[in-house]
Amino acid sequence: MHEKTLAELSQALQNKTLSSVELTQHYLKRIEQLDGSLNSYITVTAESALEQAAAADARIAAGNAGPLTGIPLAHKDLFCTQGQRTSCGSKMLDNFISPYESTVTQRFLDAGAVSLGKTNLDEFAMGSSTESSFYGPTRNPWDTDRVPGGSSGGSAAAVAGRLCVAATGTDTGGSIRQPAGFTALTGLKPTYGRVSRWGMVAYASSLDQGGPMARTAEDCALMLQVMAGFDAKDSTSVEQPVPDYSASLSDSLKGLRIGLPKEYFAAGLDAATSDAISAAVKQFQALGAEVREISLPNAELAIPAYYVIAPAEASSNLSRFDGVRFGYRCDHPADLTDLYKRSRAEGFGAEVKRRIMVGTYALSAGYYDAYYLKAQKIRRLIKNDFMAAYEQVDVILCPTSPTPAFKIGEKIDDPVSLYLTDIYTITANLAGVPGIALPAGFANGLPLGMQLLGPYFSEARLLNIAHQYQQVTDWHQRAPAGY
Amino acid sequence: MQWEIVIGLEIHAQLTTASKIFSGSATTFGAEPNTQASLVDLGMPGTLPVLNAQAVRNAVKFGLAIDAEIGMTNVFARKNYFYPDLPKGYQTSQMDHPIVGKGYLDITLEDGTVKRVGVTRAHLEEDAGKSLHEDFHGMSGIDLNRAGTPLLEIVSEPDMRSAKEAVAYAKTIHSLVRYLGICDGNMAEGSLRCDCNVSVRPKGQTEFGTRCEIKNVNSFRFIEKAINTEVQRQIELIEDGGKVVQETRLYDPNKDETRSMRSKEEANDYRYFPCPDLLPVVLEPSFIEEVRGELPELPQQKRERFESQFGLSTYDASVLSASRELADYFEQVQQTCGDAKLAANWVMGELSSLLNKEGLEIEQSPVSAAQLGGMILRIKDNTISGKIAKMVFEALAAGEGDSADEIIEAKGLKQVTDSGAIEAMLDEVLAANAAQVEQYRASDEAKRGKMFGFFVGQAMKASKGKANPQQVNDLLRKKLEG
């Protein structure tokens, strides 16, 4: 049953050819058998999953089920789940049992979905490989010597390894799209403000956005339908009606204008990925789309701007982890300063500390204008680039990363080369626009990803385009050997 | 050398809102520790702030009352520093775009002169919690009930030139925020807290001297004492050849001294930046007008009206308008008796000293405005003299009767105005003091004037104060001359 998509399993549950308890047991068993090699889960909540499954079966029997009722999912361990450990992949929160439920996970509970557990991530979502987790690296099911991408690498590996039907992720600089590309999944980063951030532990508040990771665009549509919507508890949440994302999946692509940013097809892009996208362009043309070259002239400034803004916000967001009220506290602090210093020095990993240092520096008196303010100006320019581009085209097509999944350990000691893997994804976060990543081919057995970026609140259109592409291709149907 | 004192105040006023500035927790004072701290107030991972509209409304009220420009686009900023009672590791405040811009306040000094003090800005921010160092051996307790309580930080220009001016300004702010109903002004509970920036310079010098900030002075009396102590310290330091170092100091009322808390070099770099969890808050002109419509008559307007409508002096008018409750009391007395000057004298005189003595607020006055007004009516219609009125007032204060009339009746205090009765009484007094009468009649004009008072005193004593003083005077003079 794990070869089926969310949409197919939903049908099976509704038709009662399958029960949620059976399905949940099946996935729990797979996790037990296979996750030892992947390390995609930090916490497996078997007991509550089976209770939820039983409740879902009752709900289906009573006839008041929705499409997600009874579907076993996994949540990135950045979403607070009441009564369960919410670790953020950090030693700092290894002992943290959340006293409340995030809006996103609450919506899934309300929809009757089953949660199998919490997935691994780069510590506090800071990374592109899921190697910086306190709980060890997650491995890519397509090649377990390789990373699954990050920071939502646990969710990516769990969905790709068929250890859950679909999962939630969060995307601050590409953390949904890049791992989706590395594992042949479909992953959507919604418009900033589309999905509530209440209960989603903040990395960089102005960039963070939760979204779905699944096997197909159709599945992502079903997931987003649950996640999206205004939340009075999040002041940056946007009060905008949520369309029926499944309703427009079958719309024609005739007349669709696709732009290829020339800056993204220059030096540094892996040839196989470039070829895969060229092939995808032909597919889109065959589906009736027009493709033209466009320019995002300030794209090259995105990485430096991101690595000022995100660490600046992070340095402030992570100040609350001080050993006073929750989380890790050092042994026998001599005094208050010692409590702060050692709790934070011992509780945070290297990459988190690096970003706190960078961000603290960028916000310091005398440097603020040169770094933070300048980065904000670049952010404005990048946003303007997108607005100008969307006057010429409906969506932008580009790679999700310069290369396919790299080897574990290959880049971990070279932070800058690791930062560069986000070069194609970061701009969407800086501009706040939505993007969907989907598989575009394979090279040497490794998935190649591409992404479509659209204007604000164009999620329905992006899902429609991805779905139409998936009607004429089968990359998304391939499963990694042994899973 | 002649020194000039320069003072600016930063006043933190806790805004009276039912819930906190960024969370739904209650703001009641004195609850059990940490019972009014929500997930947001605790800084739980993943929680987010939502701005309280009432706090914005209160701040706008203040801005309109000091004739300030209102910041139509409000940006909240994070002020980053570590402290155990600061749960998030930053305080959400306003930096570049405060809700209240430049404004001013007119303060009345003791000699009745009015001085204008500039207000630089006022901004919204959240309060921190409290660290409790007593009761915990080798540890500190943290109470986060106060964390997230809305504050309006009101920053003055360095316009004050003496501790007394600073106190007058602080009292004016105190009165204003209570008039507006945006802060309860309870300084003992920390609802209004004051930081004093103090410097001195040789008289005539235009540049300011180096200032020190005295943190958290929590009573008007301490404001005056702390400033005077600090001024003295600075002058002595400079006169001894030293230099004032810019620093934050604390005032110790027990020792009546200020001591260094941290120097400028030790000061935190707060790394202010716009809070990404709160979008800029844009106010509509219609909202401002709506709030303007809710403003009550303000202390200054009231003072001016008391002067023009009732002919009171500036000083009397400003004393009576200092609090809304006192002003309302006075106006009620005035309405009952129809005599503003008598009403003012009684409210500022007997009533004030009674309240002072008993340590009571005007709202707790044992003599109601209706009772006092009714009593003044009896002075005006000559039923009682001013002297008897004091007895009646004391009886009212002691609860010996419901009204002045009842007390006058029961105690037989009604003034004697029957000239026959007064004459008979005077005859008895003169007969009993025959020697003095002889002496009086033998004296010259100047000496007689002095002796006349003696006979008046004897006569009033004999009548137990009830004889009409004017009649006693007239008849006595006639009899002595005759």
The candidate with the shortest Cα–Cα distance to B390, out of B369, B407, B368, is B407
Does A122 share its domain with A195? Answer: yes
In a domain, A273, yes or no: no
Which of A19, A20, A40, A76 is flagged as catalytic? Answer: A76
Q: What pLDDT does residue A461 have?
A: 98
Does A251 share its domain with A309? Answer: no
Does A232 share its domain with A339? Answer: no
In a domain, A393, yes or no: no
- Percent with pLDDT over 90 in chain B: 71
Residue B125: count other Cβ atoms within 10 Å of its Cβ: 22
Q: How far is A93 from chain B (nearest CA, A)?
A: 10
pLDDT tens per residue, range B363-392: 999 999 999 999 999 999 888 888 889 999
Among A326, A352, A375, residue at a domain's last position: A375
Does A370 share its domain with A472? Answer: no
Does A157 share its domain with A32? Answer: yes
Return d(Cα A126, Cα A441) in angstroms, integer. Answer: 27
Q: Does B398 touch chain A (CB under 8 A)?
A: no
pLDDT tens per residue, range B102-113: 999 999 888 878
Catalytic residue check, A151: yes
> For residue B482, is pLDDT > 70?
no
Does A46 share its domain with A135? Answer: yes
Chain B (243-262) residues lying within 8 Å, Cβ to Cβ, of chain A:
none
CB contact under 8 A, A100 and B44: yes
Does A108 share its domain with A230? Answer: yes
User: Tokens standing for A331?
Assistant: 């042994």
Q: Does B377 touch chain A (CB under 8 A)?
A: no
In a domain, A294, yes or no: no
Q: What pLDDT does residue B288 have?
A: 97
Does A71 share its domain with A162? Answer: yes
Residues 6 or more apart in contact with residue B331 via CB below 8 angstroms: none
From chain B, the residues in CB contact with A336 under 8 A are 84
User: Which residue stretches of chain A have pLDDT < 50?
Assistant: none
Does A323 share its domain with A252? Answer: no
Pick from A80, A100, A320: CB nearest B88: A320
CB contact under 8 A, A336 and B84: yes
pLDDT range class, residue B450, cuts 50, 70, 90: confident
In a domain, A42, yes or no: yes
Return d(Cα B35, Cα B268) in angstroms, integer. Answer: 31
CB contact under 8 A, B277 and A236: yes
Kindly report the CATH number assigned to the domain that includes residue A58: 3.90.1300.10
Q: Does B271 touch chain A (CB under 8 A)?
A: yes
- State which residue of chain A sits closest to B140, comparing Cα positions: A336
Pairing label, strands A435-443, A186-189: antiparallel
> For residue B265, is pLDDT > 80?
no
Q: Does B277 touch chain A (CB under 8 A)?
A: yes
pLDDT tens per residue, range B144-172: 999 999 999 999 999 999 999 999 999 99
Is pLDDT larger for residue B267 or for residue B120?
Answer: B120
In a domain, A397, yes or no: no
In a domain, A455, yes or no: no
- State which residue of chain B sits closest to A312, comparing Cα positions: B273
Max Cα–Cα distance, chain A, nearest Å: 70
Does A234 share its domain with A313? Answer: no
Q: Which residues share a beta bridge with B215?
A: B250
Return d(Cα A13, Cα A8) in angstroms, integer. Answer: 9
CB contact under 8 A, A100 and B39: yes
In a domain, A457, yes or no: no
Among A320, A342, A375, residue at a domain's last position: A375
Domain that holds residue A33: 6-256+462-477
Among A324, A346, A375, residue at a domain's last position: A375
Pick from A93, A233, A372: CB nearest B45: A93
In a domain, A201, yes or no: yes
> Mind listing the domains of chain B with CATH numbers?
3-291 (no CATH), 297-411 (no CATH), 419-481 (1.10.10.410)
Tally of domains within chain A: 2
From chain B, the residues in CB contact with A199 under 8 A are 46-47
pLDDT tens per residue, range B172-205: 999 999 999 999 999 999 999 999 999 999 999 9
Burial of B58 (0-12, 13-18, 19+ CB in 10 A): buried
- State which residue of chain B sits closest to A341, comparing Cα positions: B82
Alpha helix locations (H) across A301-407? 302-317, 336-347, 350-363, 374-392
Q: How far is A235 from chain B (nearest CA, A)?
A: 6
Pick from A88, A99, A319: CB nearest B88: A319
From chain B, the residues in CB contact with A316 under 8 A are 78, 80, 89-90, 271, 273
Q: What pLDDT does residue A377 have?
A: 98
User: Tokens standing for A290?
Assistant: 């027009």
Q: How far is A266 from chain B (nearest CA, A)?
A: 34
Does A36 share its domain with A182? Answer: yes
Which of A40, A151, A152, A237 is flagged as catalytic? Answer: A151
- Mean pLDDT value of segment B435-439: 87
Prediction ipTM score: 0.96
Does A71 share its domain with A179? Answer: yes
Return d(Cα A420, Cα A329) in angstroms, integer. Answer: 34
Alpha helix locations (H) across B26-115? 53-65
Residues 6 or more apart in contact with residue A427 via CB below 8 angstroms: A296, A299, A302, A382, A385, A386, A453
pLDDT range class, residue B473, cuts 50, 70, 90: confident
